Structure 1
Amino acid sequence: MIAERTEQADLLAGLRPDQWDAPTLCEGWRVREVVAHLTMPFRASLGRTMLDLAKARGDFNRMADTTARHDALQLSAADLLACMRQNIDHRWKPPGGGTHGALAHQVIHGLDVTVGLGLDRRVPPERVALVLTGMKPRNIKFFGTELDGLQLQATDVNWTHGTGTPVRGSAQDLLLFVCGRRLPPGRLSGTESP
């Protein structure tokens, strides 16, 4: 976790101002909304989170979206980056997700930024493999991606999932596919990105 946050903070520190306002693979979110979302657990009290969740009528996704958009308007890129740097070793874990969920959250949203910007950052394959192998059916179901009849095959680590028509690509691209992200053309072989 520390290595992933450190690498992401270093990458974010090198972004131009226009890149902070560029779209990511998270639909409707620019880089600043993604970073606001990643740093929200370090900035928001449990009380604020519960109040925001109540305002969203218990819909976590709606709450996360509203909060990210609000915080991205209130905080500068420098503030968001400073928050990430100050919390490199924070022990936050998503409810019910544990350490694996925290790593998955960081890796997936980091890829939303780098792939969305067209940057050539490769998350260490063994780190992505940890995220992929730790995914449970409920995690995959959360994203709503239809994987029936597909066998996902990573080309850079020893990982497969499912049976059926082979879909091949790097572990990080397959992770994004599982999460329902629209990948740039040519990143996977065997199917179109969702």
Structure 2
Amino acid sequence: MTVDVFEEIADERRALAEQLAGLTPQQRAARSLCRAWSVHDVVAHLVMPLEVSTPRLVLAVLAAGGRFDRASERVTRRLARRPFAELVEVLAREAGSRFTPPGAGPQAPLVDVLVHGLDIRWPLGLHRDVPAPRLQEALTFLATAPAGLVPKGALTGLRLEADDVGFAHGSGPVVRGTAQALLLAGTGRSAALDSLTGEGAPVLRRRIAPG
């Protein structure tokens, strides 16, 4: 079955926006899995590519000394000043945006919305049944991702196996778990490590959460 990745992204954004609309003020202010960002901050970050044009983002990167991560944090902080409900409305309204980062295909924003959705849901104890083809597409991209998306060397020499969808990739000691847990661990989030099994799980833990 062929996956229309842009349609998958749009559906995932709409589903996330619907879930976000029901959050309490306390949940909106809660700490996410994404560094020091709150849930509100993560939503602002997800809105960034929907509202900030490429020329404006380029200017922000230049102003940040060429560092995209620093520019992203600055733009996110500005967007996070807006009301939460307004950001959620933008996420839903602009869900069909086909923006992709320069040099990347649609799989990059698919992984972005899936992982940041987990950054929000995981600490809040919220659940979502993501369609299996969507998770398979994201994991396949993650397993072969360019530098920057996956912590350097984190997945090298490991075999990833999702026990809830048809996905396996790589060779070496096995890291096994749900597709969503693999997405989190593969992007450097330590919160999902305890739910992973296999001989490769301790290896991955040492790489992304040493000490």
Amino acid at match of 1:152: L
Query: In the superposition, relative to structure 1, how do residues 136 and 154 fare at CA in structure 2: closer, same or farther (>3 Å)?
Result: closer
For 2:182 and 2:147, the matched residues in 1 are separated by 12
For 1:174 and 1:120, the matched residues in 2 are separated by 16
Query: In the superposition, relative to structure 1, how do residues 70 and 5 fare at CA in structure 2: closer, same or farther (>3 Å)?
Result: same
Q: Which range moved further: 144-153 or 164-173?
A: 144-153
Task: Say which SS state the counterpart of residue 102 (structure 2) adopts.
Answer: coil
Please list the CA deviations of residues 150-184 of structure 1 after superposition, one character each: whole Å capped at 9, or x if unmatched.
Answer: 22111012222222222110111111111111124
Structure 1 residue 92: Cα displacement: 1.6
Task: Say which SS state the counterpart of residue 176 (structure 2) adopts.
Answer: strand
- The match for 1:68 is 76
Please list the CA deviations of residues 40-94 of structure 1 after superposition, one character each: whole Å capped at 9, or x if unmatched.
Answer: 122213332122111111111111112112221x201011111112112122222
- The match for 1:170 is 178
- The match for 1:129 is 136
Matches within 5 A, 1:179-194: 179-184=187-192, 186-190=194-198, 191-192=201-202, 193=205, 194=208
Runs of 4+ displaced beyond 3 Å: 135-138
For 1:46 and 1:159, the matched residues in 2 are separated by 34
Does residue 59 of the first structure (1) align with residue 70 of the second (2)? Answer: no
Structure 1 residue 21: Cα displacement: 0.9
- The match for 1:89 is 96
Residues 93 and 101 of structure 1 are in contact (CA less than 8 Å); yes or no, is this contact kept in structure 2? yes
Structure 1 residue 185: Cα displacement: 5.7
- The match for 2:115 is 108
- The match for 1:48 is 56
Amino acid at match of 1:102: P
Identity %: 38
Between the two proteins, the alignment pairs up a number of residues equal to 193
For 2:46 and 2:166, the matched residues in 1 are separated by 29
Task: Say which SS state the counterpart of residue 26 (structure 1) adopts.
Answer: coil
- The match for 1:36 is 44
Residues 150 and 187 of structure 2 are in contact (CA less than 8 Å); yes or no, is this contact kept in structure 1? yes
Structure 1 residue 128: Cα displacement: 0.9
Amino acid at match of 2:102: P
For normalisation by structure 2, the TM-score amounts to 0.83
Amino acid at match of 2:182: L
Amino acid at match of 2:170: G
Structure 1: gaps (5+ residues): none
RMSD: 1.9
Structure 1 residue 118: Cα displacement: 1.9
Query: In the superposition, relative to structure 1, how do residues 143 and 110 fare at CA in structure 2: closer, same or farther (>3 Å)?
Result: same
Task: Say which SS state the counterpart of residue 160 (structure 1) adopts.
Answer: strand
Q: Which range moved further: 127-136 or 9-18?
A: 127-136
Task: Say which SS state the counterpart of residue 123 (structure 2) adopts.
Answer: helix
